[in-house]
């Protein structure tokens, strides 16, 4: 990873120096242990702060629609698919981005580390990754866990560790080795429930929602200037965080991002009240694949799934 | 001569049960790995071991994330308003941290002085706070920079400190002292107990290592208010979600919405956030359309505008805005790196 990081800093500096981009978007160390924060800069001296480590959680493509000019952006496999999807939706122009790809090994889910160690993240001294093991140091002890136990669920099922689209690749491409069972653990649980049980489950989960809209704002597929939830005429859903409204908000959001969601997992990770949002978004991802044989963000030249129709459309409701 | 009391840790359940006869007792609770508040279930005191602070602050029990204000109906004669019954429900919050208790002291005047807010005040006046000294502050905490000792509070009714196999109890308000009067499990503390609590308080204070330089902070912010380039830089990685504000124990903005189903209406209020681009869209346009203006507002409101009106900084250093932020935006870095030196 250190080598990749050095190469990244060199490439980013060159892009800025040669005027090929106006901005670099990458990750720099965060202010808390085991965190990173998005670095958005025009200054070539800042590139020394760029890092690559198992905590580069954010899908930085969410910033692309905000910035004017050409942007060099650091992406993991899932993030690159979000960019492809944005290109398909005419939200990003391919020539305006220089995509710096990381062949991604997956990211560490600190909530899982907390669960297996029984410690809070700020009480851990070190988390080190070697091969298929992760060593966590705390209270003067070392404990070793298989990576599978501490990676994010979506990383375990990753179909696209190497960016789908890139201009610079910071390492050798990585073959995909999705572990569907491990990545679908939460969905399995829901699949096993009766519809009444599922209803009660979601009622309970959505009762905690505070409508911070972090799930929407971290999502590159949620690029609307004005979200339906903010409309007052007509009022599709009240901004009041009652569980029913919260559920409807999330269901509509999922329909809106169907065919755009790349299972980057940001919605679930951003949720401050631990609502398992990926259990909805991943299910939608699967449905899109089943019904339309479509995976989001795989081909920038493919027509977008939901905004495209043909005159010979089989269903006549759209004509 | 000591002034405090004490109780065996194993007797805490008995005390909570006793209080439950008069109050709805809320204690720290964990659901799906989320630290939150829940009604005391009569047995489980395991929070003593894991609890550091809740994600949603106790303000949610005074200004709920959503609240029905009244119902109304419309007929040919006009509107009829049906107010809710007076809120006389008594609650006791066990385990509030000194930072969050101070936050209530900061926020309450807003609901009391210019205008009396019956919804908030009914809850505040019917609630007793039992503080629990914080002995394991998080790495995001910076309460000591805001004049708070994580293990001491004068903003609660009763203060409880973990001194090993017992809790030291200090009566702060008269109502707090009454809470333990006559409780058979509560004994007089010894001088050794008090000395131990003092030691723990000093140690806790030292454990808070994140600092904010609040000297002349109002003036510093005022000087760089117009520095657009600076605020653009500060705001560039913010995603404009509402986490930092909604979970802030001193943020109190709310929105009001009516729901009309046929001719039956309900008026709700719910948390709102100055981070949202549609904030204040109803009465007019949001004057802070650009993200950097909203980020500046959040910082300046807490550290410049609120102190101008109330002579106290509207931040208690609980660190939720740092801990919960999806992009690790850190207000302490912002405050410590202002371009203006005053």
Q: pLDDT tens-digit profile of B221-245?
A: 999 999 999 999 999 999 999 999 9
Strand order in the sheet with A36-41: A36-41, A23-29, A71-75, A97-101, A168-169
Q: Of all residues in chain B, what percent carry a pLDDT higher than 90? A: 89
Determine the pLDDT at residue A3. 92
> Domain residue spans in chain B?
5-207, 217-336
Tokens standing for residue B89: 């429900």
Q: Which residue in the set A32, A213, A273 is minimally distant from B241, CB to CB?
A: A213
Q: How many CB atoms lie within 10 A of CB A303?
A: 10
Closest by CA to A119, choosing from A98, A97, A141, A93, is A141
Our CA dihedral for A189, A193, A196, A198, rounded to 10 degrees, sits at 20
Rounded CA-CA distance A254/A250 in Å is 6
Q: A212 and A288: one domain?
A: yes
Q: What is the pLDDT of residues B185-225, one digit of tens each?
A: 999 999 999 999 999 999 999 999 999 999 999 999 999 99
Q: What is the CATH number of the domain that holds A138?
A: 3.10.450
Determine the pLDDT at residue A86. 97
Instruction: Evaluate whether residue A301 is within a structural domain.
Output: no
B270·A208 Cβ contact <8 A? no
**pLDDT reading at A190 higher than 80:** yes
Q: Mean pLDDT for chain B?
A: 95
Q: A273 and A225: one domain?
A: yes
Q: A143 and A158: one domain?
A: no
Its ipTM equals 0.95
Instruction: Evaluate whether residue A308 is within a structural domain.
Output: no
Instruction: Evaluate whether residue A226 is within a structural domain.
Output: yes
Q: What is the pLDDT of residues A41-90, one digit of tens each?
A: 999 999 999 999 999 999 999 999 999 999 999 999 999 999 999 999 99
Q: What H or E segment, with its residue span, contains residue A246?
A: helix A243-256
B324 contacts in A (CB within 8 Å)? 272
Q: Which residue in the set B243, B257, B333 is minimally distant from A272, CB to CB?
A: B243
User: Are the C-beta atoms of B92 and B73 separated by less than 8 Å?
Assistant: no
DSSP, res B23: S
Q: A22 and A94: one domain?
A: yes
SS3 B152: coil
Determine the pLDDT at residue B31. 86
Interface of A with B (CB under 8 A): 30-33, 35-40, 58, 62-63, 66, 111, 114-115, 120, 122, 205, 208, 210-214, 216-218, 226, 230, 232, 238-242, 266, 269-270, 272-274, 276
Instruction: Evaluate whether residue A313 is within a structural domain.
Output: no
Q: A136 and A18: one domain?
A: no
Instruction: Evaluate whether residue A307 is within a structural domain.
Output: no
Residues 6+ apart with CB under 8 A from B137: B52, B143, B150, B204, B207, B208
SS3 B6: strand
Q: A112 and A93: one domain?
A: no
Mean pLDDT of A83-101: 97
Domain of A202 in residue numbering reads as 2-107+151-292
Q: A157 and A59: one domain?
A: yes
Q: What is the pLDDT of residues B313-336, one digit of tens each?
A: 999 999 999 999 999 999 999 999
A272 contacts in B (CB within 8 Å)? 55, 243, 247, 324
Q: Of all residues in chain A, what percent carry a pLDDT higher than 90? A: 92
Determine the pLDDT at residue A69. 95
Residue of chain B whose Cα is closest to the Cα of A62: B239
Rounded CA-CA distance B274/B245 in Å is 8
Determine the pLDDT at residue B327. 98
Q: How many domains does chain A have?
A: 2
Q: A210 and A235: one domain?
A: yes
A82, A116, A150: which is the final residue of a domain?
A150
Mean pLDDT of A8-36: 98
Q: A20 and A43: one domain?
A: yes
**pLDDT reading at A319 higher than 60:** no
Strand order in the sheet with B91-96: B34-39, B24-31, B91-96, B127-132, B158-162, B166-171, B5-8, B187-188
Instruction: Evaluate whether residue A62 is within a structural domain.
Output: yes
Helices (H) and strands (E) in chain B, counts: 13, 12
Mutation for B interface: A32, A110, A218, A225, most B CBs within 10 A = A32
Mean pLDDT of B144-163: 98
How many inter-chain contacts (A to B, CB under 8 Å) are there?
113
Q: A15 and A143: one domain?
A: no
Q: What is the pLDDT of residues A103-143, one digit of tens each?
A: 999 999 999 999 999 999 999 999 999 999 999 999 999 99
Instruction: Evaluate whether residue A139 is within a structural domain.
Output: yes
Q: A174 and A92: one domain?
A: yes
Q: A67 and A127: one domain?
A: no
Instruction: Evaluate whether residue A211 is within a structural domain.
Output: yes
């Amino acid at each position: 990873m250190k080598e990749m990081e050095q190469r990244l800093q060199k490439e980013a500096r060159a892009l800025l120096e040669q005027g090929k981009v106006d901005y670099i978007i990458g990750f720099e160390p965060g202010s808390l242990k085991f965190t990173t924060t998005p670095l958005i800069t025009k200054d070539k001296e800042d590139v020394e702060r760029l890092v690559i480590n198992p905590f580069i959680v954010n899908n930085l493509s969410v910033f692309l629609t905000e910035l004017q000019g050409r942007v060099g952006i650091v992406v993991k496999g899932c993030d690159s698919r979000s960019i492809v999807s944005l290109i398909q939706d005419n939200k990003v122009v391919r020539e305006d981005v220089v995509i710096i790809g990381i062949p991604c090994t997956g990211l560490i889910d600190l909530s899982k580390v907390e669960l297996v160690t029984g410690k809070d993240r700020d009480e851990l001294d070190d988390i080190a990754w070697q091969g298929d093991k992760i060593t966590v140091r705390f209270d003067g002890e070392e404990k070793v866990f298989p990576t599978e136990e501490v990676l994010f669920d979506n990383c375990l099922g990753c179909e696209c560790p190497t960016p789908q689209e890139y201009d610079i690749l910071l390492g050798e491409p990585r073959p995909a080795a999705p572990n569907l069972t491990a990545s679908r653990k939460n969905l399995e649980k829901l699949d096993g429930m009766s519809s009444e049980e599922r209803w009660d489950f979601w009622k309970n989960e959505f009762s905690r929602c505070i409508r911070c809209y972090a799930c929407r704002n971290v999502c590159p597929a949620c690029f609307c200037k004005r979200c339906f939830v903010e409309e007052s005429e007509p009022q599709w859903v009240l901004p009041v965080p009652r569980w029913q409204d919260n559920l409807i908000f999330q269901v509509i959001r999922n329909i809106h991002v169907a065919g755009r969601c790349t299972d980057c997992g940001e919605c679930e990770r951003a949720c401050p009240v631990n609502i398992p949002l990926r259990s909805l978004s991943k299910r939608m991802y699967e449905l899109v694949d089943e019904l339309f044989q479509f995976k989001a963000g795989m081909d920038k030249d493919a027509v977008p799934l939901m905004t495209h129709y043909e005159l010979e459309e089989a269903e006549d409701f759209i004509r | 001569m000591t002034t405090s009391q004490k109780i065996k840790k194993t007797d805490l359940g008995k005390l909570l049960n006793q209080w439950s006869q008069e109050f709805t007792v809320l204690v720290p609770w964990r659901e799906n790995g989320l630290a939150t508040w829940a009604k005391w279930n009569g047995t489980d005191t395991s929070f003593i071991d894991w609890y550091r602070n809740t994600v949603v602050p106790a303000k949610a029990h005074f200004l709920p994330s959503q609240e029905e204000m009244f119902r109304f109906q419309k007929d040919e004669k006009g509107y009829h308003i049906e107010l809710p019954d007076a809120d006389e429900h008594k609650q006791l919050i066990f385990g509030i941290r000194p930072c969050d208790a101070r936050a209530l002291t900061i926020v309450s005047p807003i609901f009391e002085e210019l205008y009396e807010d019956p919804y908030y005040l009914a809850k505040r006046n019917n609630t007793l706070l039992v503080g629990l000294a914080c002995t394991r502050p998080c790495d995001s905490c910076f309460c000591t920079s805001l004049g708070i000792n994580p293990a001491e509070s004068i903003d609660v009714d009763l203060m409880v400190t973990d001194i090993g196999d017992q809790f030291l109890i200090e009566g702060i308000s008269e109502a707090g002292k009454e809470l333990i009067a006559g409780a058979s499990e509560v004994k007089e503390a010894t001088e050794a107990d008090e000395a131990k609590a003092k030691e723990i308080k000093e140690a806790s204070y030292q454990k808070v290592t994140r600092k904010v330089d609040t000297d002349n902070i109002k003036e510093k912010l005022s000087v760089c208010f117009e520095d657009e380039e600076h605020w653009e830089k500060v705001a560039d990685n913010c995603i404009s979600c509402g986490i930092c504000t909604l979970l802030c124990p001193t943020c109190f903005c709310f929105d009001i919405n009516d729901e009309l189903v046929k001719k039956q209406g309900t008026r709700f209020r719910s948390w709102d956030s100055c981070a949202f681009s549609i904030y204040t869209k109803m009465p007019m346009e949001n004057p802070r359309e650009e993200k950097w203006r909203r980020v500046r507002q959040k910082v300046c409101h807490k550290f410049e505008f609120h102190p101008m009106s109330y002579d106290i900084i509207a931040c208690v250093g609980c660190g939720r805005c740092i801990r919960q932020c999806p992009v690790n935006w850190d207000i302490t870095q912002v405050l410590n790196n202002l371009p203006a030196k005053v």
